[in-house]
Amino acid sequence: MSLQEAHAAMRAREPLPAALAARQDTALTRFLAAGFPSLSDEDWRYTNLRPFKDAALVAANAGSHYADSIELGGWRIDADPARLELPAELPQGVTAISLRQAIERDHPLLARLGTVSPGAAGRMGDLNAAFAGDALLIGVADGARIDQPLIIDWQLSAESDALVSPRLLLVAGARSEVTLVERRVGRGSFCNAVTEVIAEDGAQVRYVEVSRERAQSHTVARIDIDVARDARFDAFSLALGGTLTRNDVHVRLAEPGASVALHGTFVAGPGSHIDNHTTIDHVSPDTHSVENYRGIIGRAGHGVFNGKVIVRKDAQRITSAQSNDNLLLDDSAEIDTKPELQIYADDVRCSHGATIGRLDEQALFYLRSRGLDPSTAQRLLLDAFAAATLGALAPNLREVLVATLTAFLSDQLSENLT
Amino acid sequence: MTTPVLKVENLHVDIGGKTILKGLDFTAIAGEVHAIMGPNGSGKSTLGAVLAGRDGYEVTQGTVEYLGENLLELEPEERARAGLFLAFQYPVEIPGVNNAYLLKAAVNAKRRFEGKDELDAFEFLKIVKANMAFMQMDEAFLSRGVNEGFSGGEKKRNEILQMLMLEPRLAVLDETDSGLDIDALKVVSKGVNKLRGEDRVIVLVTHYQRLLDYISPDFVHVLSNGQIVKTGDKNLALELEERGYDWLRRDIA
């Protein structure tokens, strides 16, 4: 089935409100004209989506639920990307509405959807809009401090030909504080997610993304963030396994005082490909960024890190520090790491660094000399390396993420990560 | 006759094609404390590394028996569980691996090997806190990464803490006194003396005599150019302090 046919079948299965249908159709037309990105696109040099051109994808029905061994405390939304049903109760100061409802009620959040770097979400953004049967719009009121995290657990289909299109918008009002968690467990589908975040003046947004993939899962996840005056955005990303994962992060530090910290850990096990493409755009003077990505690449795994930092003309007094550290566990493991600094201002302090290494033999011997068997010693060192990006998280969240991470690493090790 | 805890015979060891130990002989019976002294480059640290099972040390001749068994056939972790402990000259910093976690994992690995029940968190904490108090260590060290950001003296105390927790039959202390101020030296010595006992062997590998002011050895051996060239009682250490090593150097062409 072609994408067009898949789209028609989806529409026949469930008619949509006119405004939503029109939104989908416009996006589909644009996508069909442009097609999947190819390796000749500079931004897609390492990740080839062209094979999907001929894949028989179908729009997904409701999928399976996210499950984790440890319960994460907070306000949880069990989200079916195709048709959202929202919990009756959410913390005070938080509005959550589905796109369908928003259209029906002409909700103010509707006007914000698609406004962060409009059009820049590119072809895959269009593909998302063409197939997204719904979207989740969340607003946090000015000055609201939301103590417990908002957790979006996306349901992903287990069908191997299913195209899943989660779509999320978060608008954090001025001086608000909120933690948003998005989690996905891929079980074989093709997930093409788009998230937008707007951090208004003085807002503090913490964003956690967990994608825990089984083999044969494909994920393309794009997030665009606008950070306003004196606002701060902190991201923690775990990308674990999967056949193909592409994470695109685009941060716009739009006004003075805006700052961002991106922390990411990715684990590319046997045969998996994980591509992290990040862009931090210092549009305004007095903006600051920190970025650390850590990769663990196992047998026949392939990791990519591309860290673009743009400092615009007249954006003075900028600080930016980027690092990417990688552990290769096998001779067949591969990493492509590339800093990409475009600096058009003078008063700028930018640093970048990349390391590629193996597990520390001295540390391994030390642990073994204390009676730990080699696999335990190896696992401890991997856990420590991988969890280092989670240091700045609140303890309860950190604990759950570390557990997710260590469980994954331990699974992978038993499946011969090395 | 009692089986020696450690029996080294005619041990020859190469590192990267270079022969470092050239026929070392050395036997230790339970209850004894041995000091192995020698100038830099005599092979002191090589001995500790070979006993602990570090990679890259090739035994070309000779045997090492631990409690009557061939030690060289065992993996490093098997040696540790069987009761061998090496206190490192330069303990490695392992950021992100929790110190308490390592201690507990190490103790329980040994207990499993011995067929004992593992310590639960409560029992473990009780023992570790008592040992830390004895070593004058702040309990905050438990929640830090292994040796992460520790000063030289703190690392050595941490080694001795691990040793007290593991209660080894054979403890080899590789230049544990180097880089210690006098207070730290006293605490470290106190830890070693606590462990000293009828069924254990302690081997102190050291360059200087001053550690032996606090831990009185039964035997002092001088290692020079890969061999033990002289053995005596603790007075030999004093003599070495006085006269240096040159009078004992043996050149093997």
Integer angstrom CA distances of residue A185 from A215, A296, A323, B67: 11, 19, 27, 53
Residue range A294-312: mean pLDDT, rounded: 95
* A9 has a chain B CB within 8 A of its CB: no
Residue B100 contacts A, CB cutoff 8 Å: no
Query: Please, which pLDDT band fits residue A418 given cuts at 50, 70 and 90?
Result: low
Tokens in use for A176? 């608000």
User: Three-state SS for A73?
Assistant: coil
What pLDDT, on a 0 to 100 scale, did the predictor assign at position B252? 45
Asked if the Cβ–Cβ distance from B77 to A362 is below 8 Å, we say no
What is the nearest CA distance from B234 to chain A, expressed in angstroms? 30
Residue with the bigger pLDDT between A270 and A112: it is: A112
Q: Could you give the angle at which helices B121-134 and B152-166 cross, rounded to 10 degrees?
A: 130
B251 pLDDT more than 60: no
> Phi and psi dihedrals of B18, rounded to 5?
-100, 130
Nearest alpha carbon to residue B193 among B222, B219, B221, B171:
B171
Instruction: Answer whether residue A311 shows pLDDT above 70.
Output: yes
pLDDT in tens, A4-49: 888 998 888 888 889 889 999 999 999 999 889 888 888 888 888 8
| Chain B contacts in chain A segment 385-404 (CB below 8 A) | 385, 387-388
Both tokens assigned to B240: 């070495």
Q: What is the mean pLDDT of residues B135-162?
A: 94
Angle at the Cα of A48 from the Cα atoms of A45 and A50, rounded to 5 degrees: 130
Residue range B18-29: mean pLDDT, rounded: 95
Write out residues 115-154 of B within 8 Å (CB-CB) of A: 145-146
| Spatial contact of A154 and A65, defined as CB atoms under 8 Å apart | no
Task: Answer yes or no: is pLDDT of A57 > 90.
Answer: no
* Segment A259-270 mean pLDDT: 94
User: How high is the pLDDT of residue B253?
Assistant: 37
Chain B residue numbers with beta carbons less than 8 Å from the beta carbon of A384 are 94-97, 145
CA distance B211 to A282: 59
Domain parsing of chain A, residue ranges: 3-361
Which of chain A's residues have a Cβ under 8 Å away from the Cβ of B109? Answer: 370-373
Q: How large is the average pLDDT for residues A279-291?
A: 97
Residues 6+ away with beta carbon under 8 Å from A311: A282, A318, A320, A341, A342, A343, A344, A345, A348, A350
User: Could you write out the DSSP letters of every residue in A161-182?
Assistant: TEEE--EEEEEE-TT-EEEEEE
Fold of the CATH domain B6-248: Rossmann fold (3.40.50)
Residue B102: predicted pLDDT: 96
| Inter-chain residue contact B80 with A368, CB threshold 8 Å | yes
Q: How far is B135 from chain A (nearest CA, A)?
A: 19
Cα of B102 to nearest chain A Cα, Å: 8
Contacts B105 to A, Cβ<8 Å? 370-372, 376
Among A300, A305, A306, residue whose Cα is nearest residue A272: A300
Q: Is A323 on the interface with B (CB under 8 A)?
A: no
In the three-class reduction of DSSP (H, G, I as helix; E, B as strand; rest coil), residue A160 is classed as coil
Q: Which pLDDT belongs to residue B63?
A: 96
CB contact under 8 Å between A385 and B109, yes or no, is no
Report ipTM for this prediction.
0.95
A365, A370, A381, A406, best to mutate vs chain B, most B CBs in 10 Å: A370
pLDDT single digits (tens) A328-372: 998 999 999 999 999 999 999 999 999 999 999 999 999 999 999
Q: Which of A112, A241, A94, A216 is nearest to A167 (CA)?
A: A112
pLDDT digits (tens, 9 = 90+) for A190-243: 899 999 999 999 999 999 999 887 777 889 999 999 999 999 999 999 999 888
Where residue B10 falls among pLDDT bands split at 50, 70, 90?
Answer: very high
